[in-house]
A and B are shown apart, each in its own frame.
Chain A
Amino acid sequence: MRHIISILIENESGALSRVAGLFSARGYNIESLTVAPTEDSSLSRMTLVTRGSDDIIEQITKQLNKLIDVVKLIDLAESDHIERELMMVKIKTSEHTREEIRGIAAIFRGKIIDVTPTTYVVEMTGPSSKLDAFIAAIDGDTIIEVVRSGPTGISRGEKGLHL
Chain B
Amino acid sequence: MELNGAQIVIQSLKDEGVEYIFGYPGGAVLHLYDALFQQDDVKHILVRHEQGATHAADGYARATGKPGVVLVTSGPGATNAVTGIATAYMDSIPMVVISGQVPLPVIGSDAFQEVDMVGITRPCVKHNFLVKDVTKLAETIKKAFYVATTGRPGPVVVDVPKDITDPRIKVPYKYPKKVSIRSYNPAVSGHKGQIKKAVDLLLTAQKPIIYSGGGVILGEADKELTEFAHTLGFPVTNTLMGLGAYPATDKQFVGMLGMHGTYEANMAMHDSDVIIAIGARFDDRVTGKLDQFCPHAQIIHIDVDPASISKTVKVAIPIVGEVKPVLEQMMEMIKESKKKPSKKALESWWNQIDQWRAVKCMEYDRNSRLIKPQYVIEQLYEVTKGEAYIASDVGQHQMWAAQYYPFDKPRHWINSGGLGTMGFGLPAAIGVKLAFPDAEVACVTGDGSIQMCIQELSTALQYNAPVKIINLNNSYLGMVRQWQEFSYESRYSHSYMDTIPDFVKLAEAYGHVGMRVDKPEEVRPALEEAFALKDRTVFLDILTDRTENVYPMIEAGKAHNDMTLRVANGTSTDRELA
List 18 A-B pairs, Cβ < 8 Å.
A14-B118, A14-B122, A14-B130, A18-B122, A25-B123, A55-B314, A59-B307, A59-B311, A62-B307, A65-B306, A65-B307, A66-B307, A68-B126, A68-B127, A68-B181, A69-B183, A71-B182, A71-B183
Report the nearest A residue to B128, measured CB to CB.
A14
A21 to B122, CA, bound (A): 8
Q: For chain B residues 94-134, which have a beta carbon within 8 Å of chain A?
A: 118-119, 122-123, 126-127, 130
Instruction: State whether the Cβ of A121 lies closer than 8 Å to any Cβ in chain B.
Output: no
For A16-36 the 0/1 string (1 means CB < 8 A from B) is 011001000100000000000
**Which residues of B sit under 8 angstroms from A68, Cβ to Cβ?**
126-127, 147, 181, 183-184
Top 9 nearest A-B pairs (CB, nearest first) are A62-B307, A71-B183, A68-B127, A25-B123, A62-B306, A68-B184, A21-B122, A66-B307, A63-B307
Chain B's interface size range is: 10 to 19
Instruction: State whether the Cβ of B348 lies closer than 8 Å to any Cβ in chain A.
Output: no
Report the nearest A residue to B143, measured CB to CB.
A68
**Which residues of A sit under 8 angstroms from B314, Cβ to Cβ?**
55
**Which residues of A sit under 8 angstroms from B39, Cβ to Cβ?**
none
Report the nearest B residue to A58, measured CB to CB.
B310
**Which residues of A sit under 8 angstroms from B306, Cβ to Cβ?**
62, 65-66
**Which residues of A sit under 8 angstroms from B220, Cβ to Cβ?**
none
**Which residues of B sit under 8 angstroms from A65, Cβ to Cβ?**
306-307
The answer to whether B310 and A55 have CB atoms under 8 Å apart is yes
Q: For chain A residues 96-142, which have a beta carbon within 8 Å of chain B?
A: none
| Secondary structure class of chain B's binding surface, majority of residues | mixed
Instruction: State whether the Cβ of A70 lies closer than 8 Å to any Cβ in chain B.
Output: yes
Q: For chain B residues 296-316, which have a beta carbon within 8 Å of chain A?
A: 305-307, 310-311, 314
Report the nearest A residue to B182, measured CB to CB.
A71
A: number of interface residues (CB 8 Å): 20
Interface residues in chain B, defined as those with a beta carbon under 8 Å from any beta carbon in chain A? 118-119, 122-123, 126-127, 130, 147, 181-184, 305-307, 310-311, 314
User: Would A17 and B119 be within 8 Å (CB), given that A62-B306, A62-B307 are in contact?
Assistant: yes
- What's the count of A-B pairs with C-beta under 8 Å? 36
User: Would A10 and B130 be within 8 Å (CB), given that A21-B122, A62-B306, A66-B307 are in contact?
Assistant: no
**Which residues of A sit under 8 angstroms from B305, Cβ to Cβ?**
66
**Which residues of B sit under 8 angstroms from A66, Cβ to Cβ?**
305-307
Interface centre among B126, B182, B305, B307, by most chain A C-beta atoms within 10 angstroms, is B307
Q: How distant is B105 from chain A, measured CB to nearest CB, in Å? A: 16
Report the nearest B residue to A63, measured CB to CB.
B307
Q: How distant is B539 from chain A, measured CB to nearest CB, in Å? A: 39
Contact among B123, B130, B147, B181 for A21, CB-based, below 8 A = B123
**Which residues of B sit under 8 angstroms from A10, Cβ to Cβ?**
183
**Which residues of A sit under 8 angstroms from B122, Cβ to Cβ?**
14, 17-18, 21
Question: Apart from A68-B126, A70-B183, what 11 extra A-B contacts exist at CB < 8 Å?
Answer: A17-B122, A25-B123, A55-B314, A63-B307, A65-B307, A66-B305, A68-B184, A71-B182, A71-B183, A72-B183, A163-B182
A17 to B130, CA, bound (A): 14
Report the nearest A residue to B184, measured CB to CB.
A68
Q: How distant is A66 from chain B, measured CB to nearest CB, in Å? A: 5
Q: For chain A residues 27-74, which have a beta carbon within 8 Å of chain B?
A: 55, 58-59, 62-63, 65-66, 68-72
Interface centre among B119, B122, B123, B183, by most chain A C-beta atoms within 10 angstroms, is B183
Q: How distant is A140 from chain B, measured CB to nearest CB, in Å? A: 40
A12 to B306, CA, bound (A): 25
Report the nearest B residue to A21, measured CB to CB.
B122
**Which residues of A sit under 8 angstroms from B183, Cβ to Cβ?**
10, 68-72
Report the nearest B residue to A65, measured CB to CB.
B306
**Which residues of A sit under 8 angstroms from B311, Cβ to Cβ?**
59
Q: How distant is A88 from chain B, measured CB to nearest CB, in Å? A: 33
A71 to B183, CA, bound (A): 4
**Which residues of A sit under 8 angstroms from B181, Cβ to Cβ?**
68
A58 to B314, CA, bound (A): 11
A25 to B122, CA, bound (A): 10
A18 to B311, CA, bound (A): 20
Interface centre among B118, B130, B306, B310, by most chain A C-beta atoms within 10 angstroms, is B306
**Which residues of A sit under 8 angstroms from B130, Cβ to Cβ?**
13-14
A25 to B126, CA, bound (A): 14
**Which residues of B sit under 8 angstroms from A70, Cβ to Cβ?**
183
**Which residues of B sit under 8 angstroms from A55, Cβ to Cβ?**
310, 314
A21 to B307, CA, bound (A): 17
A10 to B307, CA, bound (A): 21
Q: How distant is B128 from chain A, measured CB to nearest CB, in Å? A: 8
A63 to B118, CA, bound (A): 19
